[in-house]
Amino acid sequence: MRVVKVLNNSLVLALDKYGAETILMGKGIGFHKAIGYEFSKDEVEKVFVLKDRSISKSIIRLASEIDSVYFEIAKTVIDYAIEKYSMKLLDHIYLSLTDHIAFAVKRFKEEIIVPNFYTMEMRKFNPNEYDVGIFAVKHIYKTLNLQLPQDEAGNIAFHFINAQIDHPYNEKNRLINRVTDDILNIVRYYFKIIYDEESVCYTRYVTHVRLFAQRLASNQLLPEESSAMLYSQISTACGKEFLCVNKIALYIKETFNVDLSNQESMYLALHIHRILEQGVV
């Protein structure tokens, strides 16, 4: 396989022997590689064939925004899950986990903590995925010398639950997809926006909405936010977003007879704020 473009130290755009474009992944695979360099098979750890254009384009865009170390961390964690638990994972986890880890580190450095209130339940009902999350937190510390909170293991575990081809959670995928699409449409029509569905920003946004839909489908919505001051500050700063969240809460109530907690409302508002702030058209 011949190098066409070096995306970062961990990702390379290449042509295979048939002339088809591929993305090659491997630790240090792009370091000091010139255009035209021919890779041997043992130099490549993961190949993404560009027939799945949505994943490949998102990986290319993410590579331009995120340090290659996060791709390497995600690859190590995914390899651990596959080798220890024989998990059959969809390719999108390479994108979603890399983005999640980079964003988690950014939040940690900014002293923003996102708690996971279902850590105990996850340890009991999803021990394999939770162990992968624990491994990820330890590996992040080893690699970046940053000690993320233990709750982050649960947040990472959710990605492995969601990405497994044969996981029982996939029985709920139809409902999760429906809720995700409905919420995206509510936001779209409320703000009269057009999503750039090929942007990394959009991919992040959809990931967060899907995680909310997954919690809804699993009857595990976040509880009420105990800090009235935090909720008040965010609701004031994101006033227009909260008005849209009220529409989402009404849809959830009418469709599922479930009330949104103020914490779920707060996080939805923050994610909507992010997509509006970074631009969607």
Q: What is the pLDDT of residues 8-43, one digit of tens each?
A: 888 898 888 888 788 888 888 988 888 988 988 888
Domain ranges for the chain? 2-52, 68-163, 172-278
Give yes or no for a contact between 99 and 73, defined as CB atoms under 8 angstroms apart.
Answer: no
Query: Average pLDDT of 52-61?
Result: 75
pLDDT at 172 over 80: no
Where on the phi/psi map is residue 225: left (φ > 0), alpha (ψ -120 to 50), or beta?
Answer: beta
pLDDT at 182: 95
| Domain 68-163 shares a fold with domain 172-278 | yes
Percentage of the chain modeled with pLDDT above 90: 35
Quote the mean pLDDT of the chain. 86
Label residue 131 by pLDDT band (50, 70, 90): very high
Label residue 281 by pLDDT band (50, 70, 90): very low
Instruction: Identify the CATH homologous superfamily for domain 172-278.
Output: PRD domain (1.10.1790.10)
The alpha helices in the chain, defined as continuous H runs, are 53-65, 68-85, 92-109, 119-125, 127-144, 151-163, 173-191, 200-217, 228-237, 239-256, 262-278
Give yes or no for a contact between 89 and 81, defined as CB atoms under 8 angstroms apart.
Answer: yes
C-alpha span between 92 and 60 (Å, rounded): 13
pLDDT at 100: 92
Instruction: Identify the CATH homologous superfamily for domain 68-163.
Output: PRD domain (1.10.1790.10)
pLDDT at 116: 65
pLDDT at 170: 57
- The three-point CA angle 182-164-264 to 5° equals 40
pLDDT at 200: 75
Instruction: Identify the CATH homologous superfamily for domain 2-52.
Output: CAT RNA-binding domain (2.30.24.10)
| Single-letter residue type at 99 | D
pLDDT tens for 84-119 read 999 998 888 888 899 999 999 998 998 877 666 667
Order across the sheet with 21-25: list the strands: 2-8, 11-15, 21-25, 46-49
Give yes or no for a contact between 91 and 52, defined as CB atoms under 8 angstroms apart.
Answer: yes
pLDDT tens for 217-244 read 888 888 886 677 777 888 888 899 999 9
